[in-house]
Amino acid sequence: MAKVNKKQFPDIPKCIYAGDEADEYCSQCNGVTMIVDGEEYSCKECQSYTAPEPVNKEQPATPSETPQDANEKEQVYNYTTQGITTTIKAESGLSVETKNGWYRFTYSEERIIPETADIDKERELLWNDVNKEVDRQAEEIQLMLKN
């Protein structure tokens, strides 16, 4: 990996895995540079580097009408959402360094949730399943590389 001059890459998009606590190297990454064995390197050198999706910068909509008195204002801010969560999605990723280089494993799953379900328990189970799948993928490649 080539050492990085911070001024050399001022406009590099930040990697979406920067700061990932579950990954040894990504946890020490700020999205542009990462620290490996005390040395700073460009994230572009990392095989897990993934730039974020471009963001459509639209001007925020300004309300055309503002409440005229305090009662109207209070009604707006005390509104309780009527929405019901019907789907949940989780995505997990892991980077692994091997003799052959870096491997990045990701998995994403979306589930339709019935109204009667315990949403917190469903989220917990989904995260467990997604993380298990990423771990399985990493173990599979490590076993394959040993043989």
Number of domains in the chain: 2
Domain membership of residue 107 as a residue range? 84-146
110, β-bridge pairs: 89
Shared domain check, 41 and 89: no
d(CA 24, CA 43): 14
Residues in the chain where the model's pLDDT stays below 70: 1-13, 43-45, 47-77
Residue 107: inside a domain: yes
CA-closest candidate to residue 28, choices 14, 40, 16 = 40
Q: Determine contact, residues 73/101, Cβ cutoff 8 Å.
A: no
Tell whether 50 is covered by a domain: no
What pLDDT is stored for residue 85 in this prediction?
Answer: 78
Other CB atoms within a 10 A radius of the CB of residue 141 amount to 14
Facing residues of 95 across strands?
Answer: 104
> What pLDDT does residue 1 have?
40
Q: Please indicate, yes or no, if residue 67 is contained in any of the structural domains.
A: no
The closest of 81, 85, 88 to 115, measured between CA atoms, is: 85
Q: Is the pTM of this model over 0.95?
A: no
Query: How high is the pLDDT of residue 98?
Result: 80
Place of tokens 């001059």: 5
Looking at the structure, tell me whether residues 92 and 41 fall in a common domain.
no
Please calculate the CA angle 37-46-95 and round it to the nearest 5 degrees.
Answer: 85
User: Do the domain assignments include residue 51?
Assistant: no
Dihedral over Cα of 125, 128, 129, 131: its sign: positive
pLDDT at 26: 75
- Please give the Cα distance from 67 to 15 (Å, whole number): 42
Q: What is the pLDDT of residue 30?
A: 73
My answer on whether 39 and 91 are in the same domain is no
